[in-house]
Amino acid sequence: MSIRDVRVPESLITALQNAQSVAGLTGSGVSAESGVPTFREAQTGLWTRFDPEQLATPEAFARDPHLVWEWYAWRRKHIDKAAPNRGHEALAELERRVPSFALVTQNVDGLHWHAGSRNVIELHGNIGRSKCSREGVIVEPRQDDTGVPPLCPHCGAFLRPDVVWFGEALPVDALAEAFEAARGCDLFLSAGTSGLVQPAASLPIEALRSGAVIVEVNPDETPLTRYASYVLRGRAGEMLPGLVNAAYG
């Protein structure tokens, strides 16, 4: 579908053009068109026999750090080949157009940053970064460390991916920033998320409570659909550039 075929209501165009503050929330659906499998689709090849929720936990890492590190290295290889799609680029364009724009993402693939978004709040971390499993500080392995996992150059503990695992708390600062953005925006744009995982799923509801216009971009219905003022029923790679094109030409 051409972006000119995307039907955007006039009132939504006006709401976006007049918005002083916009908050976005994205999930794995916005990276689908970049070829990044969603968290649960990722299990192919030798990883098919593993349940991702059994790998992405502190207990799994304590039990078998080698296996968990290998899984993330395999996922990183996939993600390193992915490029941002027109949905990521449209969100980066929105950030340039709107006086205040905050992009909250549940994705760990870093594609928003590569597309040019700068005010990105990573609720679940970033698979491209490593941190010390003991100190929690972001640190990269030494070049000559071929260990699996590599060791922290400061304290010698295993390094781990800088992502939030099941059962772990989300980064406190990121969460606070995300809720502040949701409560302070005129328009909240939820794209590519099933809206099933808390606390991210509460962000659009907080925005609604604060009087924001809610827009959902998703090919499918979600629990958020009933609260949305506007639903662009389709893929982010088409709907988001279509929205930006309708509002800014």
Per DSSP, the three-state class of 21 is strand
- Residue nearest to ligand APR as judged by C-beta position: 29
Q: CA–CA separation, 203 vs 183, rounded Å?
A: 8
Catalog residues that contact ligand APR under the rule CB under 6 A. Answer: 27-30, 32-33, 38-39, 106, 124, 191-194, 196-197, 217-220, 222, 235-237
204 and 214 in contact (C-beta within 8 Å)? yes
Closest to ligand APR by CB, 69 vs 165, is: 165
Q: What is the 3-state secondary structure (H, E, C) of 159-178?
A: EEEEECCCCCCCCHHHHHHH
Closest to ligand APR by CB, 106 vs 139, is: 106
Closest to ligand APR by CB, 173 vs 220, is: 220
Closest to ligand APR by CB, 55 vs 152, is: 55
Q: CA–CA separation, 36 vs 84, rounded Å?
A: 10
Any catalytic annotation for residue 112? no
Q: How far is the CB of 37 from ligand APR (least distance, A)?
A: 9
Q: CA–CA separation, 29 vs 31, rounded Å?
A: 5
Q: How far is the CB of 170 from ligand APR (least distance, A)?
A: 10
Q: CA–CA separation, 205 vs 87, rounded Å?
A: 23
Q: How far is the CB of 25 from ligand APR (least distance, A)?
A: 9
Catalytic, out of 66, 88, 112, 124: 124
Active centre residues (catalytic): 124
